[in-house]
Amino acid sequence: MCSNLDDALAVAPRAGLAWESQAIPLSFDKEHESVDTPASSAREDSPPIKTLLILGASGDLTARLLLPGLASLVSDGGAQEINLVGAGYDDWSQDKWHDQLRESFGDDAKDSPVLKGIAENSEYHRVDVTSKEELTKVLQGVEQPAAVYFALPPSITEKACNLLEPGDVPEDTRFVMEKPFGAGQVSARKLNASLEKLLPENHIYRVDHFRGTGAVLNILGLRFANHLMEPVWNNRHIEKVEIYFDENLTLEGRAGFYDTTGAMRDMMQSHMLQIMALLAMDEPATLEERDVRDRIGELIRAAEVGPDYQQTTKRARYTAGKIGDREVPNYVDEPGVDPKNNTETLAQLEVHINNARWAGVPFILRSGKSLAKNQMEAIVTFKPLPHLPTGFTGTDTPTRIRIGLGPAKLRFELDVNGPGDIYSLDRANLNADLNETTLLPYGEVLQAVLTDNAMFFVRGDTAVECWRIIEPVVKAWSENKVPLEEYPAGSNGPEDWETSREEDPL
């Protein structure tokens, strides 16, 4: 982690840089609503979190992501004095809970006496969170202040929050909410209203683990700490921006969630629009929560998908195929899938931002499962030169910047004089490894929660605006106004989709 603002923003000096070209090896050393956004309370006045209370502790999210994330954080030196309390609907014994902790913590517990102590002292309570009495009892029964992680389906989280009254929630409690936040604009507004009665906005952490500390600071550092970037980061110089989150993972046993959610609600409404906002927002005055989230909110309010959804949106679903050595069945044959849902496993949107900086620049957002390779990156393509001096030969290829979001890498793709014929243009790449945390994604989430850093989470008004952007698309898709295409598992998607997807992602 960075020790100060200068370290946080100094992206390029961290990394060794190297030119590489296919032709010659070169190397060098180094419905819009009016929103009142509440001011943040002073962070230094907030008492430290004593307890992490996980609601839904017997579920898959806790076992696969939250507990391993906590283990990585403790092993990295964080959360040294946290009390861990699990609460779930399943009637687990303390022994079963401790078995789950040992399995999820894995080898980290063997190497960390602190983590081992957290596991040994942890308690599990059977709680029905839809019972006001049971929920209030567990909230008030743990050592305060507490961070309450709702590792629950969105509908259950919403029901639980609607049960509570201000007096039921101890002072300085934090609520951590998994995405999707609500099921649309209306439900998101209602959930915001319920939460506002219980907690200040900066004590409500709407999780977007794709917007972890490393990814955020890498993007902000690249954009705002380099004089080379800011003057050309606009529609006068940039032709398009593409953001990819392609995965070679399949359903992985999550049909119960995914088949009623799909790629659009799962990824676009949260992760993809948030990364787009970080890439496109105006410079914040500081890296404090209010300033950064104000800029993100402004950008999201200016964004929309063009109304001709057959041109600006695409959706597809994987069929039987092979990923590496793994045989993948047709999506509709996966256990727990209802073919009538017409769930998309690959989604693509063309988003436009209606402001002076970005008017006319398409932002292409794409995310899907069961694809050939993982590609998690943003590609910024600059406009072609208006004129190239006569005499140069070869291909005049647009300059591109590729920002890896996992792993964290940076590549400048430039034209230079080629070997042999010095008048011939050739492609060269300038590569850098960006700052990358040792924490797992949910370790980053928990670190931000336990250090009271709301900057890395989604603000309530922005969550509603994200639904405004995608809800009309969801409606059009549900009415089959956009065809549901198909692609074989292990492919790059439908063949006629024009993208810059790389055969060799960063």
Question: What are the respective helix, strand and coil percentages of the chain, to the nearest 5?
Answer: 35, 25, 40
pLDDT at 202 over 70: yes
Q: Over the stretch 283-318, which tens digit does the pLDDT of each residue have? A: 999 999 999 999 999 999 999 999 999 999 999 999
Select which of 125, 227, 271, 387 is catalytic. 271
Measured between alpha carbons, how far is 315 from 347 in angstroms, rounded to an integer? 5
What confidence score (pLDDT) does residue 500 get?
67
Q: Over the stretch 449-504, which tens digit does the pLDDT of each residue have? A: 999 888 889 999 999 999 999 999 999 999 999 999 999 999 999 988 876 666 66
pLDDT at 129 over 80: yes
Higher-confidence residue of 193 and 210: namely 193
What confidence score (pLDDT) does residue 31 get?
39
pLDDT at 6 over 60: no
Q: What do you get for the CA distance between the two ends of the chain, in Å?
A: 22
What confidence score (pLDDT) does residue 1 get?
41
What confidence score (pLDDT) does residue 25 get?
37
Measured between alpha carbons, how far is 395 from 410 in angstroms, rounded to an integer? 23
What confidence score (pLDDT) does residue 40 get?
39
pLDDT at 8 over 70: no
What confidence score (pLDDT) does residue 5 get?
36
pLDDT at 46 over 50: yes
- State the average pLDDT over residues 166-182: 92
SS3 of 56-80? CCCCHHHHHHHHHHHHHHHHCCCCC
pLDDT tier at 386, thresholds 50, 70, 90? confident
- Kindly report the pTM of this predicted structure: 0.86
Nearest to 334 by CA among 376, 373, 374, 369: 369
What confidence score (pLDDT) does residue 87 get?
98
Residue 125 is a catalytic residue: no
- State the average pLDDT over residues 387-416: 87
